[in-house]
């Protein structure tokens, strides 16, 4: 049960396809192998600021189990997304899962639940959200995977959504 103490700062990440893909990123891990805390913050993909906090630990086999304790995403447009309460998070070399994660957003105001999981062959995700202006949205997505971390480019995505929206005016902010 070795101690963990990592403090990493990334000033800017550029790729051939994207300039400033990430800026001012800071990752900090404190604790021990079996019980530790990860804090991550930075600006990602065109002015989206993100803060993330997770706590958990490594199991005897290569697997990390814990909770996503905080997630906040703020966009330059004023839109916000936040985790309302801690959500289970499991990560292994051959799979991962998140949820149920209770989320809330602003511009427009809404709240919902997200579940997602992937293994070597498939990704599955579902979302249910409600809001006064948003209405009621439910959706399910399935996609082929080339391992738990890479979408299969040749496979079709399958999904379904049910959207009951009374007011479409809020979409203008997103377009």
Each residue's pLDDT, cut to its tens digit, for the chain (175 residues) gives 889 999 999 999 998 988 888 999 999 999 999 999 999 999 987 788 999 999 999 998 889 999 999 999 998 877 889 999 999 999 999 999 999 999 999 877 899 999 999 999 999 999 999 998 888 999 999 999 999 999 998 888 999 999 898 777 766 665 5
Q: Residue 149: which residues within 8 A CB-CB, separation 6 or more? A: 96, 118
For the entire predicted model, the pTM comes to 0.84
Q: Which long-range contacts (CB under 8 A, 24 or more apart) does 161-170 make?
A: 161/137, 162/136, 162/137, 162/138, 163/135, 163/136, 163/137, 164/135, 164/136, 164/137, 165/134, 165/135, 165/137, 166/133, 166/135, 167/133, 167/135, 169/133, 170/107, 170/108, 170/133, 170/134
């Amino acid at each position: 049960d070795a101690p963990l103490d990592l403090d990493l700062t990334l000033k800017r990440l550029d790729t051939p396809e994207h300039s400033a893909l990430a800026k001012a990123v800071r990752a900090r891990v404190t604790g021990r192998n079996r019980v530790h805390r990860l804090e991550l913050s930075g600006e990602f993909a065109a002015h989206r600021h993100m803060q993330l906090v997770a706590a958990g630990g490594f199991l005897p086999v290569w697997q990390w189990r814990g909770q996503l304790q905080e997630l906040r995403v703020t966009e330059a447009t004023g839109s916000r997304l936040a985790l309302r309460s801690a959500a289970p998070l499991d990560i292994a070399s051959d799979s991962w899962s998140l949820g149920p994660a209770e989320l809330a957003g602003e511009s427009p105001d809404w709240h919902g639940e997200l579940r997602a999981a992937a293994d070597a062959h498939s990704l599955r995700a579902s979302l249910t959200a409600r809001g006064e202006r948003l209405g009621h949205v439910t959706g399910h997505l399935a996609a082929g995977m080339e391992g738990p971390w890479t979408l299969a480019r040749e496979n079709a995505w399958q999904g379904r959504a049910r959207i009951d929206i009374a007011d479409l005016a809020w979409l203008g902010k997103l377009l």
